[in-house]
Amino acid sequence: MASIQFPKDFVWGTATASYQIEGAYNEDGRGMSIWDTFSRTPGKVVNGDTGDVACDSYHRYVEDIALLKNLGVKAYRFSIAWPRIYPDGDGELNQKGLDYYAKVIDGLLAAGIEPCVTLYHWDLPQALQDKGGWDNRDTIRAFVRYAETAFKAFGGKVKQWITFNETWCVSFLSNYIGAHAPGNTDLQLAVNVAHNCMVAHGEAVKSFRALGTPGEIGTTHNLYWFEPYTTKPEDVAAAHRNRAYNNEWFMDPTFKGQYPQFMVDWFKSKGVEVPIQPGDMETIAQPIDFIGVNFYSGGFGRYKEGEGLFDCEEVQVGFDKTFMDWNVYADGLYKVLSWVHEEYGDVPIYITENGACYEDELTPEGRVHDAKRADYFKKHFIQCHRLIESGVPLKGYFAWSLLDNFEWAEGYVKRFGIVYTDYKTLKRYPKDSYRFIQSVIENDGFEA
C-alpha cells in the first residue's frame, strides 16, 4: 500500500482549451475570436505568437486521445470554441463545428474516457465583442443560445459541463489589468463583465435543467490563497481584500447569491458599482452539481497604502518559483479547498486545473526530464490526499495541461504540458511528468 493512496473512484484527468491547442483558426467555417484579434495586435503576445496553428489538435485529436488513453486518465477536460459553432457568436449555426466536436467526443468515449466540456474558455466571437462583448447584456442571451446548442447536440454523451473558465481572468485580467483579450483597463468595465458572465453562467444552468440534459453542470473559478504576512489588523484586512478579489467575489454570488459586502464597499470607494438587475443574484446562484477550482499558486501580503487596487503588497517569503514567476505553494491548495468546504458546504469539488510552467529541454532521445514539474505535481497530489483524508469532497483532479500549448500573452515560450509539443514538427513527446502521473493513476497513489 503506497503512503499516498487515492480512492479508486477518484477522477484523474488532464485539461486543455480550444484556442490554446486546436489551430485551424480559419478552417471549416470558424469565425474570428477576440484572441485571434488580440494575438494579431502588435505587442500583446510574446514573439507575436498566435493560435493560428497551436498544437494543430484540430487535425491531430486522434493522436491526442491516444496519449490520454496511454496516460490512463478517466476524463479529459477540453473546451468548445464558440466561434466554431456560431462564427458570428449568434445567427447561423456552423454544422461543421458541431461535427468536429462530435468526432472528439466519440473518440474519447471509444477510448473509455469521459469528456468534460468547458463552454467558455475565453475565445469570445469577435463579432460579439464588436457589439460590446460581455459588457453588453445581450451577450448573455447569445451565450445561452450557444450553450443550448451544445447541450442538445452532446447532452447524451457529455456528462460533465463547465459553463465558464476563470471568470476572474475574463473580467479583471482581461478588462482591468488588460493582459488578456480584449485588453481593456477599466475597473468598472471589469466589474460589469464579471457580473454579466456570472449571470450568463446562471442562465445556462437554468437552460441545462429546463432541457432535462443528463449529466452534471458547474463552473470553474481560479482561486488564489493569499495570507497576511503578520497578524496586524491592517495586514489581515489588506490580504483578505486581495484574496477576495479572486475568491469571494465569484464564489459568494455563485453559492450565496450575494457579493461580499466589504468588497462592494471597497469598489464603491473607488467609484465602481455592480450593475445588478432584479433577479440577477438568484440567477447566478442557481444550484450547481460541482465547483471546478483552478489552483496554481498563493502568497503572503501586507498593508501598503496606495499599493495596487487593495492597498496590499505581496511579501516575498522564499517560495520556489515556476517559470511564470508564480510561487510554488502546495499547502495553499489544502488551505483554499478547506476554505471552500468550510465556507460553501459539501458541494463536490474538482480541481479542474493545476500544473506548472518550467523551461523544458527535448533531448536527442526524445525525452524531457522535467523533474521540477513532476515534483510540483507530487507536492500538490499530497495536498489532494490531505483534503480527501480531511473529509473535503474532492472528487477529481485535471492536470494542466496535456500538451505544451499557446500560453495566452506568453505565447509558446511558456510550457505547461506533461507532453512536449515540438512546434516545428508538431510531434508530441511525453515528458517524465507524464510518466509520473501515469504511474500514480496506475497505482492509485505513490510513495511520498
Ligand X SMILES: N=[N+]=NCCCCNC(=O)[C@@H]1[C@H]2[C@H](O)[C@@H](O)[C@H](O)[C@@H](CO)[C@@H]12
Chain residues 341-360 in contact with ligand X, contact rule CB under 6 A: 353
The interface mask with ligand X, positions 210-239, x = CB under 6 A, is: ------------x-----------------
Residue 383 in marked binding region: no
What region does 194 belong to: left with phi over 0, alpha with psi -120 to 50, or beta?
alpha
Shortest distance, position 192 Cβ to ligand X, whole Å? 20
Tell me the closest approach of the beta carbon of residue 281 to ligand X, in angstroms: 25
Is residue 410 annotated as involved in ligand binding? no
- Smallest gap, in angstroms, from Cβ of residue 118 to ligand X? 9
Q: How many CA atoms lie within 13 A of 276 on its CB side?
A: 14
342 included as an active-site residue: no
CB 437 within 8 A of CB 401: no
Contact call for residue 172 and ligand X (CB under 6 A)? no
Binding mask of the shown chain, residues 266 to 295, with x at each position contacting ligand X by CB under 6 A: ----------------------------x-
Considering only 166-174, 186-194, 281-289, 384-392, which stretch makes contact with ligand X by CB under 6 A? 166-174
Contact stretch for ligand X (CB under 6 A) within 163-171, 193-201, 265-273, 362-370? 163-171
* 165 touches ligand X by CB under 6 A: yes
Q: Which of 236, 367, 242, 217 is nearest to 297 (CA)?
A: 242
Are residues 182 and 242 in contact, defined by beta-carbon separation less than 8 angstroms?
Answer: no
Q: Is 400 annotated as a binding residue?
A: yes
Q: How many Cβ atoms are within 10 Å of 424's Cβ, its own excluded?
A: 6
Residue (of 277, 294, 81, 293) closest to 192 by Cα position = 277
E strands, 223-297, in order: 225-228, 290-294
Residue 351 CB contacts under 8 Å (≥ 6 apart), including other chains = 292, 293, 294, 295, 333, 337, 384, 394, 396, 397, 398
Q: Which stretch binds ligand X (CB under 6 A): 164-172, 266-274, 380-388, 440-448?
A: 164-172
E strand or H helix that includes residue 57: helix 57-71
Catalytic pick from 22, 166, 313, 410? 166
Residue 14 beta carbon to ligand X: minimum distance, rounded to whole angstroms = 12
Residues 19-58 that bind ligand X (CB under 6 A): 20
Tell me, yes or no, if 353 is annotated catalytic. Answer: yes
- Rounded to a whole number of angstroms, the distance between the first and last alpha carbons of the chain is 12
Question: Are 402 and 431 in contact, with CB atoms under 8 Å apart?
Answer: no
Residues lying near ligand X in the complex (CB under 6 A) are found at 17, 20, 165-166, 169, 173, 177, 179, 222, 294, 296, 353, 400, 407, 416
Q: Can you say which residues are annotated as belonging to the binding site?
A: 20, 121, 165, 296, 400, 407-408
Active-site positions read 166, 353
